[in-house]
Structure 1
Amino acid sequence: MAKEQLYEMVVIFDAQGDEADIRREIDLVSSLVEKRSSEFIGKADWGLRNFAYPIKKRTSGQYVYYLFRAGIEVPALLSSALKMDEKVLRYLIIRAKSNAKQYLEDIQNKAQPEAVQESVEEDKAIAESEKIEETSTAVEEAESADEVTETPSDDNVNEEGASAQEDSEEAGDAEGTADEEKDSND
């Protein structure tokens, strides 16, 4: 029997189309890997990702990571099968390092907390928007209360309640009478 190696494979599936079609294609490749390998260790769905540049006129794809143990002839068989699949945009099969199993476990464990983290972040965003709405409502209420209780400015009113303009007119009249008295005395 041929010597077996630990392999990693990443497949990028065409994300165009129905979610069920994509899942069916992922399951098809998974079953192919399970049949060809002596030990199928696991897979991790990396999700939909945007490309840095278009691949086969597509700008995004569904990434799936596979880890398996197989004979040295299996990567060539998988490669020929994946080349014929129209839904596979790209793939890469390499020999895995010894820590690949730990990596797969980390990916699978990380995927669950991310979903929880996303829901927590959504809750925070909702609470923040509600807080902003409450603050804006309070500001509007305070502004409307200021408009209702607004009083005339004290700058133009003296102690007796007369305006500053009236005071200046009276002062001008007093000066005018003083000038008239001066003229009559001369």
Structure 2
Amino acid sequence: MANNYETLVLLSPELAAEDRTTILDTLTGIVDREGGKMVETDDWGMRQLAYPVQKQTRGYYVRLVYDAPGALVAELERNIRITDGIFKFMTVKLAA
């Protein structure tokens, strides 16, 4: 059974635009490969952080909304954890 999920990803401000695109293409590819469906990719751009995170005061925000089974979320988060350039993320299950 597929549920709606939202993952907010915080990318390093030092990444070039093509590196950000590569990371996001990889994440959306994982969703497609594991049987999910991307609903929306919302690019919030560079923003000031409320407090320093890993000595960074700015970050590039991207919000991913997708329909997926629960196992896909675990695989996506595993890949996010090992990807250089992503230093914070949060996944929430959206109300049906």
Q: Which of 38, 52, 55 matches 1:54? A: 52
**Does residue 22 of the first structure (1) align with residue 14 of the second (2)?**
no
Indicate the residue corresponding to 1:66 in structure 2.
64
| 3-state SS in 1 of match to 2:47 | strand
Match of 1:33 in 2: 31
CA distance in 1, matches of 2:11, 2:88: 7
Q: CA deviation at 1:74?
A: 1.4
Aligned-residue offset at 1:8: 0.8
Q: Which amino acid aligns with 2:52?
A: P
Question: In angstroms, what is the RMSD of aligned CA positions?
Answer: 1.5
After TM superposition, the runs of 4+ consecutive aligned structure 1 residues lying more than 3 A away are none
Aligned position for 2:10: 12
Using a 3 Å threshold, how does the CA distance of structure 1 residues 37 and 60 change in structure 2: closer, same or farther?
farther
User: TM-score under structure 2 normalisation?
Assistant: 0.87
> For residues 70-119 of structure 1, what are the alpha-carbon distances to aligned partners after superposition, in whole Å with 9 as ceiling and x for unaligned?
11111111111111112111111111124xxxxxxxxxxxxxxxxxxxxx
The change in CA–CA distance for 1:93 and 1:16 in structure 2 (over 3 A counts) is: same
Higher relative contact order (CA 8 A, sep 6+): 2
Which residue number corresponds to residue 89 of structure 1? 87
Cα distance in 1, alignment partners of residues 37 and 15 from structure 2? 32
Unaligned stretches of 5+ residues in structure 1: 99-186
Identity of aligned residues (%): 22
In the alignment of these two chains, the number of paired residues is 96
Paired residues of 1:37 and 1:70 also in contact (CA < 8 A): yes
Structure 2: segments with no counterpart, 5+ residues:
none
When normalised by structure 1's length, the TM-score is 0.48
Contact 2:80 2:86 in 1 (8 A): yes
Whether the 8 Å contact between 2:36 and 2:72 is mirrored in structure 1 is: no
Query: Which structure has the greater CA radius of gyration?
Result: 1
Q: 1:29–1:38: structure 2 CA closer, same or farther, 3 Å change rule?
A: closer
Higher strand share: 2
Q: Which has the higher helix share?
A: 1
Match of residue 41 from structure 2: 43
